[in-house]
């Protein structure tokens, strides 16, 4: 039986579990024809961001949180400054074995509260066409689609390779 989900700031001892969750979810999202591109994206994101979470998010005046069920990390998200009055939601993941329990909605609500606490009354976020659950969640949570684009170049924020990305925003 699952315990109570606790959302708390990331600590160094979370590193291995966060890394494992990031890799697992991105491999699950990868279409077979894009396996190599996803492996490159995973390696780049680990190097530039995931393996240096405290520094990465501090440099961007943000933070990173985990959702824990007992001692197990079952979800994550980060926030970074994205404008004078906004923060961008990053890396919101929920362990596939723990989905359909409202964890994503709780993480989203926690992130929104953190933005308000930091006097950033807008939250921005994006997701790809491959993340069908997120594409359903965000509009249902009051996020407005502000643009979409086909990502050609790879970075630690996008796979590239012609995958469509959707950008959302919500006043808090």
**Thinking of the domain 5-124, which architecture would CATH place it in?**
3-Layer(aba) Sandwich (3.40)
The SS3 assignment for 58 reads helix
Per residue in 97-129, pLDDT (tens digit) is: 999 899 999 999 999 999 999 999 999 999 998
Instruction: Write down the pLDDT at residue 70.
Output: 87
Query: DSSP letters of 118-131?
Result: TT--EEEEEEETT-
Banded pLDDT at 33 (limits 50, 70, 90): confident
Global pTM value = 0.91
pLDDT digits (tens, 9 = 90+) for 46-65: 999 999 999 999 999 999 99
Boundaries of every domain in the chain: 5-124
**Residue spans of alpha helices (H) in the chain:** 15-29, 35-48, 53-59, 103-117, 132-140
């Amino acid at each position: 039986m699952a315990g109570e989900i606790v959302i708390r700031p990331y600590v160094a001892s979370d590193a291995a579990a966060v890394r494992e969750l990031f890799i697992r979810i991105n491999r699950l999202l990868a279409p077979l024809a894009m396996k190599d591109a996803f492996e490159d994206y995973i390696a780049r994101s680990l190097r530039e961001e995931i393996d240096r979470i405290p520094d990465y998010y501090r440099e961007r005046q943000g933070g990173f949180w985990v959702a824990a069920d007992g001692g197990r990390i079952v979800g994550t998200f980060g926030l970074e400054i994205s404008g004078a009055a906004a923060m961008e939601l990053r890396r919101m993941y929920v362990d596939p074995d723990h989905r359909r329990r409202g964890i994503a909605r709780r993480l989203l609500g926690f992130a929104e509260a953190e933005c308000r606490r930091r006097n950033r009354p807008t939250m921005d976020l994006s997701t790809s066409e491959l993340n069908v659950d997120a594409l359903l969640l965000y509009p249902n949570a009051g996020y407005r689609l502000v643009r979409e684009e086909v990502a050609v170049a790879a970075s630690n924020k996008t796979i590239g390779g012609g995958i469509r990305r959707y950008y959302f925003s919500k006043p808090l």
